[in-house]
Structure 1
Amino acid sequence: MSSPSPDHTAAPQQLPPPIFDARCKACWFVLGLLLLVVASFWSLDLQWVAFFSLDALRSMARFGGEFFPPDLSPVFVRKVVQASVETLAMSALGTLLAVVFGLLLALPASRLHAADRSWLRQPTRLLLNALRSIPELVWAALLLVAAGLGPFAGTLALALHTTGVLGRLFAEAIENAEPGPAAALRAQGNSTPAVLLYATLPQVLPQLLSYTLYRWENNIRAAAVLGVVGAGGLGQMLAFHMGLFHMGKTATILIAMLALVGLVDGLSFALRRRLTR
């Protein structure tokens, strides 16, 4: 009995991918973004020649030299330290309020399981979109009318904007949690709060804490800016002294801002590192 002859038919030659396949679509998208950036530079009519001219550089150097030496008098440094504490408190309290309300809004904004009808999902997400679409400065300007000048308006402004941001992030984390543990508890007849408490939240808690720390870093910077509209803290001192051209005092305030942001960034990085171990 003769053995079967080997198949000498050549494999069909693989043709190059069409120009509009998935990979090339990404290439066209990047090319479109580059063209948009080039068109933006052209439409804005940026005066690069005037910006890097000798007169402009000389004026910038003269203006920068006015910041030195910083005002390090004990009386003024004490005021800066008090404003720094106020800015730190605004950011911490605003973030804490945002965590509470963001988590409360994240639960109705997320679909907890496949059979969950989640009637409030879309309305709640629209509310979160509205909260975070309004910048902190606009919230502070609106709240100054009701709360008056000072850190209270700034704290509420941070809380409202950050609630929209954290609420959406928390909702996404809850929806993307591993469904197995929740399904096992649900199959045993446990209620929805029990499933959330013992199955879903333990999984997403490190992610929620990471989001919270990151937003706290951002709120430190935002709190320093909110004072420009009269919401207290370092920003209010910065707007006052810079408006009066007290450049030495302005330099001291800027140094305090940099130190405060660096301190919170380092603390947040250390806490996030411990959470991921």
Structure 2
Amino acid sequence: MSAVYPRAMPAAPPRAWSTAVLALALLALVAASFASLPLKWGEFFTLQAVASIAEFLAGFAPPDLAPAFVARTAWATAETLSMSALGTLLAVAAGLVLALPAAGRFGRPARVLVRALLNVLRSIPELVWASILLIAAGLGPFAGTLALAAHTAGVLGRLFADALENAAPAPEQSLRSNGASAMAAFFYATLPQTLPQMLSYTLYRWENNIRAAAILGVVGAGGLGQMLKYHLSLFQMRQAATVILAMLLLVALVDAVSFAMRRALTR
């Protein structure tokens, strides 16, 4: 019987110094942030601060549940929901159009230019877009809808382009080699691969746009945010509490619907 000798262990893979350097840089950034910011934790937890917060929160109870005010809040909730849905829909259409050149399907120059445009669109926050568009479109939900569409188009265009670039090229190349046109090969081979991922991205951004639409009203873009700013500025805390509850219920409802739809897509 021949003796069985243990096999030598494989050599450990070489460690990348770039990972260690990046981790040290992040730790240094966190340490510098704590050192540079005037964080006053002691004052935050004093008895006076706790008493002031408790007194402020007590003003929100009980919420104003008068039928007329609840009806106004329900209308503002529907307006906020419509702003987010329409803004997301417009962003999906623009994102799909911009994703094709951003994925390199029309050459490198077009890819560079369109990706630069996407960077500009998504680097400007919704509040800034709303402040700019309010000058052109006036007060109301129209400017808020356009602001959501502009920012979200930059986000979804980048995500859609990355999904198209990461799709397996073999199915589309096989159809092209068998005589299919470029458009037919894209719609029958590449788009079905990326469509579930694109839908997931869209639903996630819709969740974010619900929250953003509720905030855009602060600058006059309508919806729940405009009601909240109005009542808080007049120190009408009970009415503000009703608006905040409507925001929470709307966000919870959209989160639940979006989660159910994403779960159905991944089955």
Same fold (TM over 0.5): yes
Letter in 1 for 2:39: L
Q: How does 1:205-224 map to 2 (within 5 A)?
A: 205-224=195-214
Letter in 1 for 2:49: A
Q: CA offset at residue 191 of structure 1?
A: 1.8
Out of 48, 56, 62, the residue aligned to residue 41 of structure 2 is 48
CA contact (8 A) 2:148 2:209 kept: yes
Deviations 1:155-196 (A, max 9, x none): 000000000000010001111111111000111232221111
Name which of structure 1's ranges 179-188 and 216-225 shifts more when overlaid on structure 2.
Answer: 179-188
Q: CA offset at residue 29 of structure 1?
A: 2.5
The TM-score, its normalising length taken from structure 1, stands at 0.90
What is residue 244 of structure 2 aligned with on the other side?
Answer: 254
2: CA distance, partners of 1:192 / 1:152: 37
Out of 151, 165, 170, the residue aligned to residue 180 of structure 1 is 170
Q: CA offset at residue 79 of structure 1?
A: 0.4
1: CA distance, partners of 2:104 / 2:146: 29
What is residue 161 of structure 1 aligned with on the other side?
Answer: 151
Deviations 1:80-136 (A, max 9, x none): 000000000000000000000110010111134xxx734311101111111111000
Q: CA offset at residue 35 of structure 1?
A: 2.6
What is residue 66 of structure 1 aligned with on the other side?
Answer: 59
Out of 231, 234, 240, the residue aligned to residue 224 of structure 2 is 234
1: CA distance, partners of 2:144 / 2:226: 11
Evaluate the alpha carbon distance shift between residue 25 and residue 212 of structure 1 in structure 2; reply closer, same or farther with a 3 A threshold: same
SS at match of 2:63: coil
Evaluate the alpha carbon distance shift between residue 41 and residue 12 of structure 1 in structure 2; reply closer, same or farther with a 3 A threshold: closer
Residue 91 (1) aligns with residue 81 (2): no
Letter in 2 for 1:176: N
RMSD of the alignment, in Å? 2.1
Name which of structure 1's ranges 190-199 and 54-63 shifts more when overlaid on structure 2.
Answer: 190-199
SS at match of 1:94: helix
CA contact (8 A) 1:110 1:118 kept: no
CA contact (8 A) 1:92 1:216 kept: yes
2: CA distance, partners of 1:13 / 1:179: 35
Residue 100 (1) aligns with residue 89 (2): no
Deviations 1:234-262 (A, max 9, x none): 00000000010000001000000000000
Question: 5+ residue gaps in structure 2?
Answer: 1-7
2: CA distance, partners of 1:86 / 1:249: 18
Residue 111 (1) aligns with residue 101 (2): no
What is residue 179 of structure 2 aligned with on the other side?
Answer: 189
Evaluate the alpha carbon distance shift between residue 133 and residue 74 of structure 1 in structure 2; reply closer, same or farther with a 3 A threshold: same
Deviations 1:203-231 (A, max 9, x none): 11101100000000000000000000000
Out of 131, 135, 143, the residue aligned to residue 133 of structure 2 is 143
Question: 5+ residue gaps in structure 1?
Answer: 1-10
Out of 232, 238, 243, the residue aligned to residue 233 of structure 2 is 243
Evaluate the alpha carbon distance shift between residue 138 and residue 12 of structure 1 in structure 2; reply closer, same or farther with a 3 A threshold: closer
Moved segments of 4+, more than 6 Å: 11-14
Name which of structure 1's ranges 91-100 and 32-41 shifts more when overlaid on structure 2.
Answer: 32-41
Identity %: 63
Deviations 1:50-69 (A, max 9, x none): 11111111101111111101
Name which of structure 1's ranges 180-189 and 34-43 shifts more when overlaid on structure 2.
Answer: 34-43
The TM-score, its normalising length taken from structure 2, stands at 0.93
1: CA distance, partners of 2:118 / 2:157: 7
2: CA distance, partners of 1:108 / 1:25: 32
